[in-house]
Structure 1
Amino acid sequence: MIETLNKLPRWFSLGLTFPLIFLNGWLLLLLGRELQPLVSILITATVISFLLDYPIRFLIKLKVQRGIAAGLVILIFFMVLGTLAIFLVPLILAQANELIVRLPEWIKSGQQQLQIFETWAIAQQLPIDISGTFNQVIEKLTGVLRSITSQLFSIVFGAIGSLVNIFLTLIFSIFLVLRGSFLWNGLLSWLPQKWNDQVRNLLPRNFERFIVGQVTLATILGVSQTTAMLILGVPLAQLFGFGIGIASLIPLGGSSTIITVSLLIALQNFWLGVKVLLVAVAIIQIVENVLGPRIVGELTGLNPVWMLISLDIGFKLNGVLGLLVAVPIAGFIKGTFDTIRGVNGSVKVEAIPEAHTEVSIK
């Protein structure tokens, strides 16, 4: 069969391959939707296992036995998770509710500042009329904020009501940390040897660098932005800093959130909003340009356009989880196609030493 396809014109082979790939992908998507929430649980557990595997490897390098290292890291993980659930989550929910209450007052303050500006512009005989545009922007922004806040509450309370799913996610995460290699070896054994090696080498590299790197950068950004806003005396600083940190898990998400936060603060106090914008942009530039290359390195080699396309597709397929895994999967697909096309020549993809762990698919 393969020899017959090789004899066909290249354009015909490609034209035949595309609908087959599309059909198989569509069927796989239907299967994934039917198996929900199991698919989301497995994706979340895989992400958590990659995060936990980094400190485990660090302890192993310090001559700590893997079993002891895994147990210690898992214990610390549950302690941190419990601390966040007890202290951080109630604070964020309270401030989100307070934002909804304060928003009409902030909008009124913004309109007053705009009227003062327009009065000054008229006195200077400047042809400026931005009241209509301002009202449209505020209306859309208010709708988006209310939607996001309501979704946040529904997600949190939905998660509380789905304790079984949370329990399964944690159990799968622990299993992948302790015995993940057996699962991956069993799954990859169905692939041809060439594809087997390709998946073993490229997939861990893209996922580990992206997920661990993005979580590290998002944590640094969230803490630094919250600290800066507290120093500047920004109201609801913890909520805004947390929002910027969470949004930074997604490429380009932190920058767009900073603009939104600055606009919200400017409604209450224009110059405070300007200060927040300047400080936040300075922090994100330092973190992404100075610390980013050291922490994340060269992630996927994706063109920014393809990165945006992959994020859009990931969000449409699986929401927030799709956004988190879209870029590493796109990088893996790109690396695979580069190898097939012979871009890498006869040089094989080198295995990453860090991937020789229980969680990796080595």
Structure 2
Amino acid sequence: MSTAGESPEFEIARFLRQLKWTLLGLMALWLVWMLAPVLTPFVFGALLGWLGDPLVDRLERRGRSRNVAVALVFGLMTLLLTLALLILVPLLERQVKTLISTLPQYRDWFVETALPWVEARTGLDLLVWLDPDRLVDWIRDHWRQAGGFAATLFGYLSRSGFAMVAWVVNVVLLPILTFYFLRDWDVLVARVAALVPRDHIVTVSRLARESNDVLAAFMRGQFLVMLALGAIYAIGLQLVGLKVGVLIGIVAGLISFIPYLGATTGVVLAVVAALVQSQGLDLKLLILVGAVFTIGQLLESYVLTPRIVGDKIGLHPVAVIFAVMAGGQLFGFLGMLLALPVAAVANVLLRYASERYRESDLYTGEQVPIVLDATGHAGIEPAPIPTGEAPEPEAP
């Protein structure tokens, strides 16, 4: 039903315009889905450029040219990535080998200690339902199948010249694209802003700024907190003498974006590893493990989160998990890269829609304002004349 002053032709034109934008949006999603392998290095490079742009701008404000600032930031990012690969990959490889070599000890502890303890307190006969030997054999068989599948897959990739060339091209393109995104990020933002209709520039600028703050609060803030907690847990558990402490610490740090889940998972895994390693109840080791996670939580609550994340409204952990899983399901690895930016924009748009709804007549209701006249008597304010013309004076 058309409102006053809007003809049926206007309603049809508006519907066709909305239909056009909907079709364009669906076509854009289809193109993203079709070009996902090609777009992956571009999206990854754009994210890295967005992460490094604030530091480039800061160096520019201190008097350095844009090219020099970009070269410094790009060199720093390359150095950090190289050091991470050189340090973490061999370290994690040793930790995984240690874990695999101690799997029989974990099996013995599970069968001889954990299950009898649970059975004695619950009265359940768990050994009838859980056959550890069969479970270990099943894991071993599937591990071998996974290894065989991986070997077959890598053999296929090595034989497939096109796939290998595409993989190498993406690896080579990533640093080049990152460099160009870093150098031209402000130019790209200005060009996008120039395309926004002038009567919507204020609203779009506000929404873009809020989206940037939300995404930054998670990616630049929460991600650094995750890395810091992973380092604290890994170093602390290794210092107290836990053999697989580095592996447990990194896992606990990486899932710490979900409140309490990272610390809880790390404590459970570390306690089990400590019991298996000591072959009994080592109170000293357990107290030291608890102290490591207590110190980590205190640092996160009072130092890391307030100083790094601040009071910006970040993404809810449930929204992050759903966005990453949905993006991966729909668009593969490209969808996982786009998940967080899309979730940040959607979060801001939902807040903006909620604000508009609370200001609308649908939420507040159409109420006739009551005013006071000069004598102080209440009366109902006359409704405005829709034509905008002054009323005819009454005849004397």
- TM-score using structure 2 length: 0.64
Where does residue 298 of structure 2 map in the other structure? 286
Where does residue 296 of structure 1 map in the other structure? 309
Decide whether aligned partners of structure 1 residues 215 and 338 sit closer, same or farther in structure 2, where only a CA change above 3 A counts.
closer
For 2:262 and 2:176, the matched residues in 1 are separated by 31
Report how far residue 342 of structure 1 moved. Answer: 4.0
Where does residue 127 of structure 1 map in the other structure? 123
Where does residue 323 of structure 2 map in the other structure? 310
For 2:259 and 2:334, the matched residues in 1 are separated by 13
Q: Could you list the per-position Cα deviations for residues 321-352 of structure 1 after superposition, in whole angstroms to 9, with x for gaps in the alignment?
A: 75565355323223224334545999xxxxxx
Report how far residue 313 of structure 1 moved. Answer: 2.4
Contact 1:210/1:328 (8 A) holds in 2: no
For 1:65 and 1:232, the matched residues in 2 are separated by 47
For 1:170 and 1:92, the matched residues in 2 are separated by 25
Identity %: 22
Where does residue 166 of structure 1 map in the other structure? 171
For 1:132 and 1:165, the matched residues in 2 are separated by 52
For 2:54 and 2:268, the matched residues in 1 are separated by 33
Report how far residue 95 of structure 1 moved. Answer: 2.7
Q: Secondary structure of the equivalent of 1:330?
A: helix
Contact 1:206/1:328 (8 A) holds in 2: no
Where does residue 45 of structure 1 map in the other structure? 45
Residue of 346, 350, 362 corresponding to 1:333:
346
Q: How does 1:107-256 map to 2 (within 5 A)?
A: 107-114=107-114, 117=117, 121=120, 127-131=123-127, 162-193=167-198, 194=200, 196-198=204-206, 200-248=208-256, 254-255=262-263
Decide whether aligned partners of structure 1 residues 208 and 303 sit closer, same or farther in structure 2, where only a CA change above 3 A counts.
closer
User: What residue identity is the alignment partner of 2:190?
Assistant: N
Q: Could you list the per-position Cα deviations for residues 173-201 of structure 1 after superposition, in whole angstroms to 9, with x for gaps in the alignment?
A: 11111112223333454443426424542
Q: Secondary structure of the equivalent of 1:233?
A: coil
For 1:282 and 1:96, the matched residues in 2 are separated by 26
Unmatched 5+ stretches in structure 1: 347-362
For 1:176 and 1:265, the matched residues in 2 are separated by 45
For 1:29 and 1:182, the matched residues in 2 are separated by 25
Q: Could you list the per-position Cα deviations for residues 236-293 of structure 1 after superposition, in whole angstroms to 9, with x for gaps in the alignment?
A: 3333333333444677773465266336525624757955763454245324422213
> What value does the CA root-mean-square deviation take over the aligned residues?
4.6
Report how far residue 45 of structure 1 moved. Answer: 1.5
Contact 1:213/1:296 (8 A) holds in 2: yes
Q: Secondary structure of the equivalent of 2:102?
A: helix
Unmatched 5+ stretches in structure 2: 158-163, 360-396
Contact 2:226/2:253 (8 A) holds in 1: yes
Contact 2:70/2:183 (8 A) holds in 1: yes
Structure possessing the higher relative contact order (Cα contacts under 8 Å, 6 or more residues apart): 1
For 1:339 and 1:118, the matched residues in 2 are separated by 52
Decide whether aligned partners of structure 1 residues 191 and 60 sit closer, same or farther in structure 2, where only a CA change above 3 A counts.
closer
Contact 1:218/1:246 (8 A) holds in 2: yes
Report how far residue 29 of structure 1 moved. Answer: 3.8
For 2:36 and 2:299, the matched residues in 1 are separated by 36
